[in-house]
A and B are shown apart, each in its own frame.
Chain A
């Protein structure tokens, strides 16, 4: 059983399109995150949700909108995709401020 699963694993799309990445965790954790990893492998937090409430919202364009329908899910919707959005997006979860468990990543390529 995969602990943190994200779909899709790969996403190739045109500039200007809108796309979503879904994340689910079956660990019973109360906190979920979205991270962006660029081509140099640098990891940056984008959002953090605790019990479905947004607690961290780093400097991310408002084209990115996270949605947490319940504690086990945190989806990421991106509007008007730009070339610079190409990256690997990682979902993660934790119990409070404990250790993070990461998904396998979703590689987004914007053409």
Chain B
């Protein structure tokens, strides 16, 4: 099946690290993405990882991919109040008819407490 799951809520203290987890079911994934949605705004691409990589680091963001367990995580170091947002995990798969489609998680709402 095609499913991407994330926990719906995460609360952390300012300055701590946040880890947002995502699991997926389809093994034909090519790319996996993290998008950020701030209140009242559209989704912004934060980072992505190719399915044959296991880690990608970009400043405060670290993406880890465990392809065997179909598990993706986003770690935000030194979390700031400006990181409060909804974080969506998405998987690019090859669907029926060789169609590349994006499967979205339901989003994890990150609350950063001062």
> Could you tell me which A residues sit within 8 Å of B by CB distance?
4, 40-45, 55-56, 90, 92, 96-97, 99-105
What are the 5 A-B residue pairs with the smallest beta carbon separation, nearest first? A97-B100, A102-B42, A102-B43, A104-B42, A99-B45
Does any Cβ of A come within 8 Å of B24's Cβ?
A: no
Q: Which residues of B contact A44 (CB under 8 A)?
A: 104
Contact of A42 with B106 in the complex, beta carbons under 8 Å: yes
Q: How far does the alpha carbon of A55 sit from the alpha carbon of B102 in the complex, in Å?
A: 13
Q: Which residues of A contact B107 (CB under 8 A)?
A: 41-43
Q: How far does the alpha carbon of A55 sit from the alpha carbon of B109 in the complex, in Å?
A: 31
Chain B residues within 8 Å of chain A by Cβ, number:
22
Majority-rule SS of B interface residues: strand
Contact of A105 with B48 in the complex, beta carbons under 8 Å: no
Other A-B pairs beyond A41-B109, A43-B43, A43-B104, 17, CB < 8 Å:
A41-B106, A41-B107, A42-B106, A42-B107, A43-B106, A43-B107, A90-B42, A90-B43, A97-B92, A97-B100, A99-B33, A100-B35, A102-B35, A102-B43, A103-B42, A104-B41, A105-B40
Task: Please judge, given known A-B contacts A104-B41, A104-B42, A105-B42, whether A41 and B33 are in contact too, CB under 8 Å.
Answer: no
- Nearest CB to that of A107 among chain B residues? B40
Q: Which of B21-35 contact A (CB under 8 A)?
A: 30, 33, 35
Q: Which residues of B contact A101 (CB under 8 A)?
A: 45
Q: Provide 7 A-B residue pairs closer than 8 Å at the C-beta atoms, listed in order of the A residue.
A: A41-B37, A45-B102, A97-B30, A97-B100, A103-B42, A104-B41, A105-B41
Q: Which residues of A contact B86 (CB under 8 A)?
A: 41
Q: How far does the alpha carbon of A78 sit from the alpha carbon of B41 in the complex, in Å?
A: 22
Which of A55, A90, A105 contacts B99 (CB under 8 A)?
Answer: A55
- Nearest CB to that of B104 among chain A residues? A43
Which of A45, A100, A105 contacts B45 (CB under 8 A)?
Answer: A100
Q: Which residues of A contact B104 (CB under 8 A)?
A: 43-45
Q: How far does the alpha carbon of A96 sit from the alpha carbon of B102 in the complex, in Å?
A: 12
